Amino acid sequence: MSNTNISPSIITLLTDFGLKDIYVGTIEGVIANLNPQLRLIHLTHEIPPQHIAAGSFCLASSYAYFPRGTVHLAIVDPGVGSSRRGVAIQIDRGYLVGPDNGLFTSVLRESPAIVAVELTDTRYWRSPVASLTFHGRDIFAPIAAHLASGVKIIELGETIDPLTLNRLEFPAIAITHGKISGSIQYIDRFGNLITNIPATAVVNRSWQIAMADLLIPQRATYSSVDRGELIALVGSSGWIEIAVNGGSASTRLGLSPTEPGNLPLTLEIVESIP
């Protein structure tokens, strides 16, 4: 990337709010009202409702492509109004703002927290008073706007030990007798099945995927095979994926395209003859 200067004026937004209502637009209004110079970039608002794991995967797949100093506002918040904390976290490339419910698990695996703060200073919330059910509008959006406008993270509340941040537990991959067992962590719009097996696990090996009674061959690109063929490949975010050229692997395998992921589907990476 050619531009690595601090550029504190970008906020990204990832939610499960959908686009049917005005929740997303209202958040953009609150931010514009605090500082009209800030730019908001929408990651996605179609995280399946209250599905924290899908939110964690999507944020981790995209945050690294933004300028240094970007504030990533993420709101998938089934516990809004409960005792779950609101947090702001500084990482090497920028900031994370949202509920402390595991939503940042996947980002923090790659980019450890440098500073973490519980959002306790109400001066940085929307006044006169925050609702009990829409902290996105009333707490997280103003906090993101203040951070992106130059307020120091430690001003926003009480510093907390990053080790106390909530983390999701994801299914692990297992390596036994040369086989790698994993699962599907996400299904995208095209019906591609994104596994939890990183490409780094298969470097310099010839491999294929065994799943149910299928053997799925490895190919470099979707179009390496005829239309309609099921293949395995290294996807654009560095995970092994199962795809159908010109079609949908999820439809082919009878999986719901709206399945939020973390399917208990066992697959194995096995050797193949090159």
Q: How many residues are listed for the chain in this entry? A: 274
DSSP string of 60-89, one letter each residue? HHHGGGSPTTEEEEEE--TTTTSSPPEEEE
Beta carbon nearer to a copy of itself, 134 or 170? 134
Provide the mask over 61-80, with x wherever binding to a copy of itself is found by CB under 8 A and - wherever it is not.
Answer: xx--xxx--x-------xxx
Question: Which residues in 54-156 belong to E strands, given as ranges?
Answer: 70-75, 86-90, 94-99, 115-118
Q: Is 173 in the site for a copy of itself (CB under 8 A)?
A: no
By C-alpha distance, which of 151, 152, 150, 117 is closest to 7?
Answer: 150
**Smallest distance, Å, CB 112 to a copy of itself?**
21
Q: Is 198 in the site for a copy of itself (CB under 8 A)?
A: no
Q: Is 26 in the site for a copy of itself (CB under 8 A)?
A: yes
Give the separation between CA 241 and CA 224, rounded to whole angstroms: 15
**Smallest distance, Å, CB 214 to a copy of itself?**
21
Give the separation between CA 174 and CA 197, rounded to whole angstroms: 10
Task: Count Cβ atoms below 10 Å from residue 190 Cβ, excluding itself.
Answer: 14
In the list 122, 133, 206, 251, the residue contacting a copy of itself (rule: CB under 8 A) is 133
- Region 79-108 residues binding a copy of itself, contact defined as CB under 8 A: 79-82
Q: Rule CB under 8 A: which residues touch a copy of itself?
A: 1-3, 7, 9-10, 12, 14, 17-26, 28-30, 32-36, 39, 41-46, 49-50, 58-59, 61-62, 65-67, 70, 78-82, 126-127, 131-134, 137-138, 188-190, 220-224, 233-236, 246, 248
